[in-house]
């Protein structure tokens, strides 16, 4: 195993920085795309939302705490900002997003969560910091709002009905937008944000889970619990965070972020044949419109000129 790891490490190091960046962002896309699918499949596996969240924070904290002690870089954890980030982007977001996927299909998450993040971010920036959107963001908002108007018209005609999961996904979008804005405003590094979210989320959530909730998946198999625990704690919270930060350093924030934002929309399409989830015209329209507004493909043309 060690020899195999060394082989891949040497192979990776021989690649150009740009190629390394594309491989890293491809892996990040795989993890982030799989997040929606595995979050949704918990319903079939009879794994409770509260147990997934507990495993997510417990395993991640067990891995990160020794590293923090060895590196002796833990003082940032005692900033009150770290606690707020954990409440919003850790406990709050996790409770909302897993509940949303337990109630609504993957495509709904792509449309009402990922598609609404640009709107939520712009609105919060304007309300809190009085920051006006730039030209590209305005164009993205026009596309997203136009999509929402057409979707609302179709909903009014009875083509679709909102469910509780959709509303929760909308709340998720504002939760994640607030977390991202504060992360940048308070200038936390990826390492600091990851550790703050994991450690404080564990300290806040686990006592509540132990005292008032407890293990809630008696019918789930052990290997399903292990898969969900390892994926959501190690791959999502730790590995994908590191690979995304490395991709940004090699490709730039726009290129890495633009490619990564495709992942939820791709997973929504995959979920239709893979999980047998329904896909009506309202959701197809939402995927196209929200996808264009989120990925902003016109910026790729300008990016290629530099």
Lowest-pLDDT range, 78-82, 107-111, 183-187? Answer: 183-187
For residue 2, CA distances in Å to 9, 10, 15 come to 10, 12, 20
CB 220 within 8 A of CB 64: no
157 burial (CB, 10 Å; 0-12 / 13-18 / 19+) is: exposed
Query: Does position 55 have pLDDT exceeding 60, yes or no?
Result: yes
Closest CA to 166 of 182, 180, 153, 148: 148
The pLDDT tens digits of the residues spanning 200-249 come to 999 999 999 999 999 999 999 999 999 999 999 999 999 998 888 888 88
Binning pLDDT at 50, 70 and 90, where does residue 102 land?
A: very high
Query: Does position 1 have pLDDT exceeding 70, yes or no?
Result: no
Cα angle, residue 133 at apex, residues 251 and 305 outer, rounded to 5°: 35
pLDDT of res. 2: 58
The pLDDT tens digits of the residues spanning 240-295 come to 988 888 888 887 766 777 778 889 999 999 999 989 988 888 899 999 999 888 88
Please give the model's pTM, rounded to 2 decimal places.
0.91
17 part of a folded domain: no
CB 229 within 8 A of CB 55: yes
26 part of a folded domain: no
* Count of structural domains within the chain: 1
pLDDT of res. 155: 80
18 part of a folded domain: no
pLDDT of res. 15: 81
pLDDT of res. 66: 92
47 part of a folded domain: yes
pLDDT of res. 231: 96
171 part of a folded domain: yes
23 part of a folded domain: no
274 part of a folded domain: yes
Cα angle, residue 301 at apex, residues 300 and 306 outer, rounded to 5°: 90
Higher local confidence (pLDDT), 157 or 91: 91
Binning pLDDT at 50, 70 and 90, where does residue 143 land?
A: very high
Determine the length of the chain. Answer: 306
For residue 288, CA distances in Å to 67, 295, 297 come to 42, 11, 12
173 part of a folded domain: yes
For residue 5, CA distances in Å to 2, 9, 133 come to 5, 6, 45
Query: Does position 126 have pLDDT exceeding 80, yes or no?
Result: yes
Closest CA to 55 of 66, 63, 65: 63
Query: Does position 306 have pLDDT exceeding 50, yes or no?
Result: no
Query: Does position 298 have pLDDT exceeding 80, yes or no?
Result: no
Q: What percent of the chain has pLDDT over 70?
A: 94
Residue numbers of the domain that contains 235: 39-303
């Amino acid at each position: 195993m060690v020899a195999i790891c060394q082989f891949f490490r040497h192979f990776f190091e021989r690649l150009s920085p740009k190629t390394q960046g594309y491989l890293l962002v491809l892996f990040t896309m795989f993890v982030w795309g799989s997040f929606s699918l595995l979050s949704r499949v918990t319903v079939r596996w009879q794994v409770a939302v509260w147990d997934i969240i507990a495993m997510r924070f417990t395993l991640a904290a067990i891995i990160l705490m020794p590293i923090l002690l060895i590196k002796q870089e833990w003082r940032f954890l005692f900033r009150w900002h770290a606690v707020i980030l954990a409440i919003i982007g850790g406990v709050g977001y996790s409770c909302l997003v897993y509940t949303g996927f337990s109630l609504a299909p993957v495509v709904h998450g792509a449309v009402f969560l990922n598609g609404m993040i640009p709107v939520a971010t712009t609105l919060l920036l304007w309300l809190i910091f009085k920051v006006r959107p730039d030209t590209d963001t305005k164009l993205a908002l026009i596309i997203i709002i136009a999509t929402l108007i057409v979707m609302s018209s179709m909903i009014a005609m009875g083509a679709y009905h909102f469910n509780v999961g959709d509303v929760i996904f909308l709340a998720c979008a504002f939760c994640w937008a607030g977390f991202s804005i504060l992360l940048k405003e308070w200038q936390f590094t990826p390492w600091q944000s990851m550790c703050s979210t994991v450690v404080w989320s564990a300290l806040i959530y686990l006592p509540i889970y132990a005292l008032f909730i407890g293990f809630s998946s008696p019918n789930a198999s052990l290997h399903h619990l292990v898969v969900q625990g390892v994926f959501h704690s190690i791959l999502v919270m730790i590995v994908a965070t590191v690979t995304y930060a490395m991709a940004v350093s090699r490709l730039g924030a726009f290129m890495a972020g633009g490619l990564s934002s495709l992942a939820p929309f791709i997973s929504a399409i995959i979920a239709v044949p893979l999980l047998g989830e329904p896909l009506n015209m309202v959701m197809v329209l939402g995927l196209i419109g929200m996808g264009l507004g989120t990925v902003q493909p016109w910026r790729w043309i300008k990016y290629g000129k530099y």
